[in-house]
Every structure is written in structure tokens, then in C-alpha cells.
A and B are shown apart, each in its own frame.
Chain A
Amino acid sequence: MTQQKRKFGFETRMLHAGHIPDPVTGARAVPIYQTTSYVFEDTDKAAQLFELKQYGNIYTRINNPTNAVFEERIASLENATGAVATASGMAAQFAVMMTLLQAGDELVSSSHLYGGTKTQFTHTLKKLGVNVHFVDPNNFEAWQAAITPKTRALYGETIGNPQGSVLDIEPLAALAHSHNIPLIMDSTFATPYLCRPMDWGADIVTHSATKFIGGHGSSIGGVVLDSGKFDFSTFPTIADPDPAYHDLRFYETFGHYGFLMKTRAVTLRDTGAALSPFNAFLLIQGLETLSIRMDRHVENALAVAQYLQAHPKVGWVAYAGLPDSPYHALAQKYTPKGSGAVFTFGLKASNERLAGKTFIESLHLFSHLANVGDARSLVIHPASTTHQQLSDAELQEAGISAGMIRLSIGLETTEDLLWDLDQALQATSA
């Protein structure tokens, strides 16, 4: 039989990558393997699995067939060599840090981060002896200056939360590689449909799959992806004998799979932050419509941003899709299909804090809650919620003002969203 070779397109891979119908049942939808564990073929095969000499299922904390479909599918969409699913986005980035770093190591990170990430890096990583240096992501010299011989990685968000800043990935990847360290990117706000950081040189990508990937606000989940291109041959935690796995050298043994194999076999095993198979199923359902939803998300987001910019009660709008955004050029380069659907704006009011409160309480369609990337439109006041653990100075460093409102634009009828925003804006001066 002739074999037709073809590299399938993004939408085809959203629907098919990672799931070949099983030969026994032929089930077309991805089955939910709601099981903790897997019967071994025999004692020899069991031993081989535990020694990582065979690929296979041992225990759902380490791997699961439903999760494997989610993992391979998103790896295909990100042009990654593989993936490890985690219980949440926070668990994903923590798994990356636990796999790569040890006490005494340093990380250089963009300061434009989700507040929870900033707190995790500043306080939890510090407890483990890892120091994180935060830099203005737009200041390339600051990145260069912050790198020391102890720096083990650079970190940033493709589209920063909540500022909507777009990271200039290409020069940062080159900078990281000139120091033999990887560039780690969280790409939650972009999704692999709007930007694939690995195509620009990023080495490791994480997602909170809870957001646009799941897309319906139903399930918490995360994922770690590796391009397979970074040379870990001299990277201590991946190349050196690992006492947590009978002195296995993960790079030597698994080559381009070394980082992911260690993330799964050691970090996931030891931290226990595994994705539930049922959540994996729901996240897969989300992936199957990702491109269609993202097209609509960014179309609505741009319409809302333009409307707000022209509104007399609005002081400013920070959306990289608007031509006057300082990030517009970067957005055109890295996210040409659209600059995501999460952005911020400021109310024009004498008392911004009070106006913000009135605005949020006057909305009818926007849901006031702590999430983004739902099919429904969402709103939040970062200074009093997601970023409330930050001091005033940290808030300023993160580019957040007291009167800032963050929107996550959903898939509703565009005119209904504009109507809702307008009536709530009018209420701020009532």
C-alpha cells in the first residue's frame, strides 16, 4: 500500500492529534479512563515500567490514557516534542521549576505576570532556596544585567497578565541560549492558535488549560511542554545522576525527552499534582474548537477595545490590538491573528476606586469572578482580588493601577457586550 505523507494543518490536529481510535472498541470520542492504576502484564514488565525501561501506564498520578491524548494533542498544536499534564497552570509552572532548579539557583523573570505566579516565585520558590529576579520585560538590558552564573532560566508570559504586554520572544531566546539556559514561557493568554513560542525559540512552554484551552470555565488543568531542542547535556538537574531515580541521568538516557521524562517520573510522582482524567476529557473537548473560539474571542475583544477607547467615561485602554498600544508592533509580529481577549482599561473618574466598584456592580452580562478565558465575558478589579497580595510598590512594578479594570471578552453577541459596558459606564457618574 502506498503511504501518503502529509503534515496536517492546525485545525485537523485540534481534532485528531493524540487520539487514534482503539482497535477493540473503535470509540470515536476520547474515552475517559477513570482509573487509578493498571494491571501489569507480568512481573518482568512491571519491573521494566518502574525502571522506565518501558513506556506504559503505572499509576494515574504519573500517567493516564485520557491525559495522554490531551498531552499529545497540545504538544502537536504547540510544535512540541511532548507534554506533561498537571492539575492546574500553577502546578505546571511549579513542576517546571521543581524539575530544573535546586537550592541556590536563580531565575530571571518578567515582572508582568499573573499575580499568583509572582507570589509563587517570590515566596514559595524562596522557601526552597531559589531567588527570582524580576525585570521590566521591555528592557532588554535589564534582562542581560540580571543574569548571573547562578541563573538557570529566563521566564515570561507571551501576553502578560493583566497588562496585555507582548513579550519579545526572539531576542530573549537568543539571550538565554547564549548563556546555555532555557527560555520558559507561559502562553496561557495566547493559546497555541494565536502564538507558538517554540516557533520563535522558546524551549519550555506552560499553560493554564483552565482558560481558553478548556474554554468553558468548567475545569482546572495545566500542561508543561518541551520543544526538545534545548541542549540539556550540561544542565545540572537534567544531566547529573538523579538520586531521586536511582542515579539515572535523564539527559543521557532519554536525550530530547530527558526534561519531560524527569518532570513526569520524578516531579509529578513527588508533588502529586496530576490532572484528573475527567478534566482531561473536558479540556480535550475545548481543544477541538480552539481555533473557532479564538477567532471569535479576538474579534469581540477588538470591537470592545475600540468601543471603550472612544467612550467618554474611559481614560485609557491597554490592548495590544489597538494601533496606539506600545505593544502593537510586537503583537503584529507574534500574534498576527489577534492579541488575545484579555485586557485592561481605566475609568475616567475623580475617585477611580469608587467608580470601579460602581462599574462592576452595574454590569448585567459580564460575570464578576476570578478567571479568564471562559466562553462568557468576565470582569475583575485586579488591585482588590487577583493581585491583592502585592504591596503598592509591587503593584506599580507589575503595571497595575488602583482603578484598573480587567476584562476577559467572551463569545456573546458583540452589540450586547457594548450595550452592557455602556450602561455600566454611564452608571459611574450617576
Chain B
Amino acid sequence: MGFGSSLAGDIGMNTALTDEQRALYMDPGVIRTVLATSKTIAIVGLSPKPERPSYFVGSYLKSEGYTVVPVNPRADEILGEKSYPDLLSIPFPVDMVDVFRQPDECVEVARQAVQIKAKTLWLQLRVINFEAAQIAADGGLHVVMDRCVKIEHGRYSGSLHWVGMNTEIISARRGGRYF
């Protein structure tokens, strides 16, 4: 379904960013567009260990129908997919680059994301680097920062609600997927 015009909720909780920074890097319209239009998601720092958060996110995105591309130089295969040592080694187009690395590694990831013509740079919760965000934005990419792609997918698809979380979405119109 399309975007609900009555979808007026703000998503201001659980962030380290200021209101001005949130306007740039947590725009609900951008997040929903990215979730709706991305098909191939490269996860930089995807761990092969099933108990790690990146593995949770990767397996979630895969089961939700996205093509997940592991980027981890220390693994050959994760989640049944071939793993690449860096973004530049991926031989096909990537829509979103999702980053699970320390903030100081994000500038190089952002440069590579621009170079491979990815459409979105998504930095996970507390992965905050404004220089990296600026590099990606200057390269024409959507930028999301200090958010979890699994949580946002769950928020706008309705499933986060099933576990009692405050989605901050309020609407009197018939619901469904908001992307």
C-alpha cells in the first residue's frame, strides 16, 4: 500500500541525535521510501554468529524478502549467501548499505557506498558518524542514522506492535503496511 496521509506519528524515542539531526537522518518519509524501494541490502559487519545482532537483522531482512549481501572479510558465506570483503568487491548493484561497524570505520564505508552507486546509507543504532553521513548525502544517497533497520521495518509493517512496543504511529484509518 502507499503512504498513509494520516500517518502522523513521530519517531522521537531511543535516539542520541538532536531534533535537527533527526530531521536529516530519521525522516519517516525517507525511511519508508527506503524500505519500500530497496531490494538488495549489503550488510557491512554482518557476523556469522547466530546470536549477534547483525545476524538477527540479516536473517530478518532475508525472511522479509530482501536480498542480503554479507560484507565481512573474515567469512566466506553467511546466511547461505556469499560474503564479500568490501563493498567494492560486490559484482552487482546494491540498493542499501546497512552498517554494523564502529563509527570511526563509517567514513570509508560511506565513500565506497557512493562509489558503487548505492541508493541508501543506513547506519545502525548508535553507529553515528556525521562525516560519513555528509559524504553519502553529497553523493546523492538517502541517509538514515542511529536507527535499526529491523525495528523500522517492524514499526512500519506492524509487527513491532505485536510485542508491545511503542511504535509512535497513530492513525484512525485502516492500517496495513506503511511502505
What is A's interface to B at a CB cutoff of 8 Å?
1-8, 12-13, 16-18, 20-23, 26, 44-45, 48, 51-57, 63, 65, 67-68, 71-72, 75-76, 80-85, 228-229, 241, 246-249, 252-257, 260-261, 264
Known: A13-B170, A56-B162. A22 touches B29 (CB 8 A): no
Chain B min CB distance to A272 (Å):
17
Q: Contact at B173–A21, with CB atoms within 8 Å?
A: yes
Chain A residues whose CB sits within 8 angstroms of the CB of B53 once the complex forms: 252-255
Closest to B160 in A: A55
Closest to A80 in B: B166
Q: Contact at A3–B166, with CB atoms within 8 Å?
A: no
Chain B residues whose CB sits within 8 angstroms of the CB of A76 once the complex forms: 166, 168, 170
Distance of A363 Cα from B123 Cα, bound (Å): 65
Residue in contact with B170 in the complex, picked from A17, A22, A52, A55, CB distance below 8 Å: A17
Contact pattern, B 23-55, Cβ under 8 Å of A = 1, otherwise 0: 000001100000000000000000000111100
Q: Contact at B164–A82, with CB atoms within 8 Å?
A: yes
Known: A4-B8, A21-B175, A53-B59. A84 touches B51 (CB 8 A): no
Q: Contact at A48–B165, with CB atoms within 8 Å?
A: no
Q: Which of B10, B158, B162, B163 counts the most A-chain CB atoms under 10 A from its CB?
A: B163
Distance of A3 Cα from B2 Cα, bound (Å): 12
B85 located at the interface, meaning its Cβ lies under 8 Å from any Cβ of chain A in the complex: no
Chain A residues whose CB sits within 8 angstroms of the CB of B6 once the complex forms: 4
Known: A4-B8, A76-B168. A53 touches B63 (CB 8 A): yes
B139 located at the interface, meaning its Cβ lies under 8 Å from any Cβ of chain A in the complex: no
Count A-B contacts at CB 8 Å: 136
| Cβ-closest 10 pairs across A and B | A71-B164, A20-B175, A82-B165, A55-B159, A75-B166, A23-B176, A1-B5, A256-B14, A6-B8, A55-B163
B179 located at the interface, meaning its Cβ lies under 8 Å from any Cβ of chain A in the complex: no
Q: Contact at B60–A54, with CB atoms within 8 Å?
A: yes
Residue in contact with A72 in the complex, picked from B126, B165, B175, CB distance below 8 Å: B165
Distance of A418 Cα from B121 Cα, bound (Å): 66
Q: A53-B56, A68-B161 are in contact. List 5 more A-B contacts (CB 8 A).
A: A3-B28, A7-B12, A20-B173, A55-B160, A82-B166
Q: Which of A7, A22, A48, A53 counts the most B-chain CB atoms under 10 A from its CB?
A: A53
Distance of A13 Cα from B167 Cα, bound (Å): 12
Q: Contact at B14–A228, with CB atoms within 8 Å?
A: yes
Contact pattern, B 137-179, Cβ under 8 Å of A = 1, otherwise 0: 0000000000010010010001111111111111111111000
Chain B min CB distance to A245 (Å):
10
Closest to B29 in A: A3
Known: A1-B5, A20-B175. A83 touches B164 (CB 8 A): yes
